[in-house]
Amino acid sequence: MSAPLPAALPAVLSRIDADLDAALERLFTLLRRESISTDPAYAGEVAAAAEAMAEELSGLGFDASVRPTPGHPMVVAHGPDIPGAPHVLFYGHYDVQPVDPLELWERPPFEPALIERADGSKEIRARGACDDKGQLMTFIEACRAWKAETGALPCRVSILLEGEEESGSPSLIPFLKANAEELKADFAMICDTGMYDPETPAISTMLRGLMGEEIVIRAADRDLHSGMYGGLARNPIQVLAHILADLHDETGRVTLPGFYDGVPELPEELARQWEGLGFKAEDFLGAVDLSAPAGEQDRPPLHRIWARPTMEFNGINGGYTGQGFKTVLPAEASAKVSCRLVGTQDPHAIRAALRQHVKDRLPADCTVEFHEHGASGAVNLDISLPAFEAARAALSEEWEKEAAFVGSGGSIPIAGYFQTVLGMESLMVGFGLDDDRVHSPNEKYDLQSFHKGARSWARILGAISA
């Protein structure tokens, strides 16, 4: 008979420590797979990675299979039922971003290596080291240790590994809907997040949504000579600049009517916890050679990137932008605009308001065309669920520093899909760091993140099952 959970945990953690070298080699084997989902040339490698993950999970006693989709395959695995214990669904993705520009890599991106830094610490260097192969393997190694020491997992675990996360997840929602009964659990676990800082573990409890829109304004039927037509013909760049400038006031607040509908105030308890994190805007901005916080000037800086909505201009194009100089009035100008959303903001209502804002300011001789680039609402997780506090206590014990409930300025759509399609909350725990160079050359994952990440998941599995 297996030992009771609290008694078994020290042995499980010791197993992870003793098995670290073998765990690294298993991770390196996965990192060698060139599973780039956006490039059709690598479809075979993506499929091979899926087969390898299914085989890995089958070896741990899961009922694992590779499931076809119209795109890249999913891997689904189920552990045995554990009477009286919760059922969790773990999500990760085995596909990776392209490696371009290749010349900026210090070593081949699919030849993983353990690199020792000047301070003696070590990092795992490879494409996918952090996003998301290193992260998902922390969970699998935790499961391996529980099986090795007790013969079973402490609760029922199902696993869903996606192969299209880095290419927009086109097959994900149809797959979740078609397999909802099979995949539904008490709650999900998502590993595609990070630490607050290298020593402070974190649980992400809110994610901003996203709305993207491209605006194209046209005037004359061709580019015009600025000496002949300047001062008389309409200039689309000037029109576009005026329209964009009207979207913010002098304090950084967005002026779009209805934009702040559904934006909540941060709960006082959470605000106090964030204040205790000691966030310093000057340090955060200083790392990218900036110094003056922008955005809503009446809001604390940390709130602006975690809990407040934004409207940003991601790209503007028009006229001649090549080398040298060309004096033209352009026939058209365009801008890409994105909004990060919070609370219950409606991305579709905001898109409609943005389009109306543009139309209302469009002068004679100009036409406008709009192109959608996605829309998803924010995700707010119910931290009153016992699993959240159990996980926070487990993380705090492992890292010897109180884990923080944090927001995320970015978007992780899968958490929202689990809410809307499967009707369950997600526990988002990851061990990535801000300097992991995710999606960039020389991507890395700290050895400490990998090692203590596995230990953390082992603790969490025990804590939620006790």
Same domain, 395 and 410: yes
Domain for residue 232, yes or no? yes
Residue 125 included in any domain? yes
Q: Is 403 helix (H, G, I), strand (E, B) or coil?
A: coil
10-residue averages of pLDDT along the chain (466 residues)? 73 98 98 98 98 98 98 98 95 97 97 97 98 98 97 97 95 98 97 94 94 97 97 97 98 97 94 93 94 96 96 96 95 97 96 98 98 92 93 97 90 90 96 95 98 98 94
Q: What is the chain's length?
A: 466
* Cis check: omega of the bond before 39, within 30 degrees of 0: no
Q: What is the pLDDT of residue 409?
A: 81
| Structural domain containing residue 320 | 209-263+309-376
Cβ(161)–Cβ(74) below 8 Å: yes
> What is the tally of structural domains in the chain?
2
Residue 415 lies in a domain: yes
pLDDT at 3: 58
State whether 134 and 60 are in the same domain.
yes
Same domain, 31 and 122: yes
CATH number reported for the structural domain that contains residue 353 in this entry? 3.30.70.360
Go through 176-209 and write b for each residue having 16 or more CB atoms within 10 A of its CB, e for each that does not.
beebeeebbbbbbbbbbbbbbeeebbbbbbbbbb
The pairing of beta strand 367-376 with beta strand 187-190:
unpaired
Nearest to 412 by CA among 428, 425, 424: 428
Do 99 and 224 reside in the same domain of the chain? no
Residue 276 is assigned to a structural domain of this protein: no
Please check whether residue 292 lies inside any domain of the structure: no
Q: Are 67 and 214 part of one and the same domain?
A: no
The domain that holds 184 is classified in CATH as 3.40.630.10
Residues 19 and 40 in one domain: yes
Q: Is residue 353 located within the same domain as residue 401? A: no
**393 and 460 both lie in a single domain:** yes
Find all residues with CB under 8 Å of 449, minimum gap 6, and list them.
Answer: 130, 134, 138, 195, 431, 432, 433
414 close to 172: Cβ distance less than 8 angstroms: yes
- Mark whether 342 and 226 lie in a shared domain: yes
- Helix (H), strand (E) at residue 6: helix 5-18
The two structure tokens encoding residue 422: 């499967």
Please tell me the predicted confidence (pLDDT) of residue 466: 87
